[in-house]
Amino acid sequence: MAIRFDGQVALVTGAGAGLGRAYAIDLAKRGAKVVVNDLGGDPHGEGADRSPAQKVVDEIKEAGGEAVANYNNVAEYDGGFEMVKQAMDTWGRLDVVICNAGILRDTAFHNMSEEDWDKVVAVHLKGTFTVLRAAWPVFRQQSYGRVVVTTSSSGIYGQFGQANYGAAKTGMLGLMNVLKQEGAKYNVNVNTIAPVAGTRLTATVMQEDMLQKLVPEMVVPAVVYMVSQDCTDSGYVIEAGAGNFNRASIVKGKGVQPGTDDLKDAEWVQQNWQQICDLDGAEPMWRTGQTLKDYLASKQ
């Protein structure tokens, strides 16, 4: 069955180029009305330019779709509010939010400045908060919402020179894991994409031949499905890029469960270290103290 967004409104941040542009264009082709947000700064978070967002809007309109440009800064609380307000003022609802805006300021940790840390965390982590905080009451009131936030292999597994970026991207997992629970009773699903694509950000760390191969459009199918009403899963992390798709997950191992009868010491941990760290039979969790399997069973 074709995935459509007729009658729905989507907000995509950082949509003036790269992945965000690709998401916005595909959603518009499928019937969504799209708020195309982009401050238009450079890859390091400096400056502003309205032309990237407007260019994508023009592209969508020329293809017969509906879109409006938004130039607010996701790192500002009022910026997130104004994006959502624009969607509501223009079309009266908001169904989809894709938090994609990002910058890079790569440097080894011992050389990282406070500004390098603050700016990256502000755009990625706070910038996701500002938009979703404004959208959340709308989702609750209409008992519907689909959200995709953006993490990275740097946040899931780590990458040298990206302590600021990796920390912010791991923060997306914590945010998703809470919001998936708070949104469940309101039919609000929150998932995470970990994309690999050739964009102006990755151009700072990738070779030219890889940039040409890793087109953003290869990531789009996963994101568009996750923000559709057809997707009923929530709390998933999907890695996508180079034609490949897979799920990544934080899991909990069986460990050792001796109970509280005897107080253990460091030597006991040393002796049982291999079993404590063994991941055989590990399971994804839904919330603290409940496996995903148990949660899904409780919904049946």
Asked if the model's pLDDT at residue 59 lies above 90, the reply is: yes
More confident residue, 210 or 271: 271
Q: How confident is the model at residue 201 (pLDDT cuts 50, 70, 90)?
A: low
Beta strands in 85-222 (DSSP E): 96-99, 145-150, 188-195
More confident residue, 121 or 202: 121
Closest CA to 36 of 100, 103, 102: 100
Task: Quote the pLDDT of residue 136.
Answer: 98
Q: What is the mean pLDDT of residues 277-282?
A: 96
Rounded distance between C-alpha atoms, residue 229 and residue 96, angstroms: 10
Asked if the model's pLDDT at residue 206 lies above 70, the reply is: no
Instruction: State the pTM of this model.
Output: 0.94
What is the average pLDDT value for the chain, to the nearest integer? 94
For the chain, give the percent of residues with pLDDT over 90: 86
Task: Quote the pLDDT of residue 23.
Answer: 98
Continuous segment of H or E residues that includes residue 28: helix 18-29
Residue 284 — φ and ψ, nearest 5°?
-65, 150
Q: What is the mean pLDDT of residues 110-120?
A: 98
Q: How confident is the model at residue 61 (pLDDT cuts 50, 70, 90)?
A: very high
Residue 145 — φ and ψ, nearest 5°?
-175, 145
Cross-strand partners of 198: none
* Spans of all domains in the chain: 9-248, 251-299
Catalytic residues: 165
pLDDT tens string 207-265: 666 666 778 899 999 999 999 999 999 999 999 998 899 999 999 999 999 988 899 99
The domain covering 9-248 belongs, at the CATH homologous superfamily level, to NAD(P)-binding Rossmann-like Domain (3.40.50.720)
Rounded distance between C-alpha atoms, residue 58 and residue 38, angstroms: 14
Asked if the model's pLDDT at residue 300 lies above 80, the reply is: no
Asked if the model's pLDDT at residue 203 lies above 90, the reply is: no
